[in-house]
Amino acid sequence: MSRLTRTRAAVATGLTLGTATAGLLFAPAALAAPAAPTVSPSSTVAPGTEYSVSGVGCTPGAASTVVSMVPDVEHPQSGDGTTPAADGSWKIDMTAPTELGSYSYRLTCDQYTTKFSYGTVTITVTADGKPVPPATPAAFVPGAKPNTPGIAVASSTGATNVAAPGQKVTKTYKGFKAHEKVTLVLHSTPVTLGTFTADANGVVTASFTLPAGTALGTHTLAFDGDAGSHFEETLTLTADGKALAYTGASVTLPLVGGAVLVTAGAGALVLGRRRNAGAAQA
């Protein structure tokens, strides 16, 4: 492994400029970049640990050929490099930085008169050398974020807040910002139903199909715009997409009738007792 410095870069640049005129006529065709380099044992490493970057396709030319690996910054002061084998394969051994974070490096096959880039590789340094697990999104809480004032339902196909699993629904909302992109998510288990764009008047027409396997019951439709607008409403899913029948009123009339009968019976009993008492006195 060799250290590449600004001097090495300057020599390469001077030689390239010196052969530029001849290169216009006699330079070979530019090499096509081969497969991306491989990072071993992993592109996620612990601070200060050893890893290697290897690749193929950098066949040595008539002049000295080198594979360079330099930090992907605007003015790298130095880098690492290696001379490829006769078959064009190469490997660069590296030591990970001690500070946590991600580091990108440019890799180039340099034959002085011809060169090509392998692109970049990124090394991520974590405390234990293991990938950082993705953050778990916070659970959706209905009403935790207040609705943006002015947003309301303008029209709806069928019942406004009742539908069936698998049913296609079209609803129009007013009050969003002009040309705002609005994403609709069905909760509590998040299911994105679509992204819709408001017109110049802030009107959004959302046409979506409710997933067929969605459980019956009350759910929440949450609309979030890329300009900060938020609106949510409840949606009740029933087997037939119709509101549940209200049966509480059917009990009232029998109860009232029963109370009247009980009162009438009590009155008759009192009247009978009075008549019996009068007959005894006579």
pLDDT at residue 141 greater than cutoff 80: yes
Q: pLDDT band for position 233 (50/70/90)?
A: very high
Domain count, the chain: 2
Q: What span, in angstroms and rounded, lies between the C-alpha atoms of 262 and 257?
A: 9
Q: Are residues 197 and 83 in the same domain?
A: no
The tokens of 278 are what? 């009068």
CA distances from 225 to 13, 24, 232 (A): 51, 54, 12
In tens, the pLDDT along 147-168 reads: 999 999 999 887 779 999 999 9
Rounded Cα–Cα distance for residues 227 and 79 (Å): 44
Q: Does 282 reside within a domain? A: no
- Residue 127: strand pairing partners: none
**Angle, CA of 254, 258 and 262, to the nearest 5°:** 175
Cα–Cα dist 110/64, whole Å: 9
Better-scored residue on pLDDT, 220 or 64 = 220
Indicate if the pLDDT at residue 31 is higher than 50: no
Whether residue 19 sits in one domain with residue 85: yes
Q: Are residue 106 and residue 216 in the same domain, yes or no?
A: no
Q: Are residues 96 and 157 located together in one domain of the fold?
A: no
Percent with pLDDT over 70 in the chain: 72
Mean pLDDT confidence for 125-139: 87
Long-range CB pairs of 148-151 (<8 Å, 24+ gap) are: 148/175, 148/176, 148/228, 148/229, 148/230, 148/231, 149/175, 150/174, 150/175, 151/175, 151/176, 151/223, 151/229, 151/231
pLDDT at 269 over 60: no
Full-prediction pTM beyond 0.85?
no
The domain of 107 spans 2-125
- The C-alpha atoms of residue 242 and residue 162 are separated, in whole angstroms, by 6
Whether 93 and 22 share a structural domain? yes
Confidence of residue 78 (pLDDT cuts 50, 70, 90): low
* Secondary structure (3-state) at 80: strand
Q: What's the pLDDT tens digit per position in 35-72?
A: 889 999 999 999 999 999 999 999 887 678 899 999 98
Judgement on whether residues 25 and 88 belong to the same structural domain of the protein: yes
The secondary structure element, H or E, covering residue 53 is: strand 50-55
Task: Render pLDDT for 238-255 as a digit per residue (tens, 0 to 9).
Answer: 999 887 655 444 444 444
Give the β-pairing of 162-163 and 230-237: parallel
CATH number for 84: 2.20.130.20
Question: What mean pLDDT do residues 72-97 have?
Answer: 84
Model confidence over 180-194: pLDDT tens digits? 999 999 998 899 999
If you write DSSP's letter for every residue of 193-247 in order, what string do you get?
EEEEE--TTS-EEEEEE--TTPPSEEEEEEEEETTS-EEEEEEEE-SSSSPPPP-
209 in any annotated domain: yes
| pLDDT for 21 beyond 80 | no
Asked if residue 139 belongs to a domain, the reply is: no
Indicate if 37 and 86 belong to the same structural domain. yes
Does the pLDDT at position 8 exceed 50?
no
**63 in a structural domain:** yes
Task: Verify that 67 and 111 share a domain, yes or no.
Answer: yes
H helix or E strand, kind and range, residue 10: helix 6-18
* Same domain for 167 and 54: no
Residue 109 is assigned to a structural domain of this protein = yes
The Cα–Cα gap between 154 and 177 comes to 15
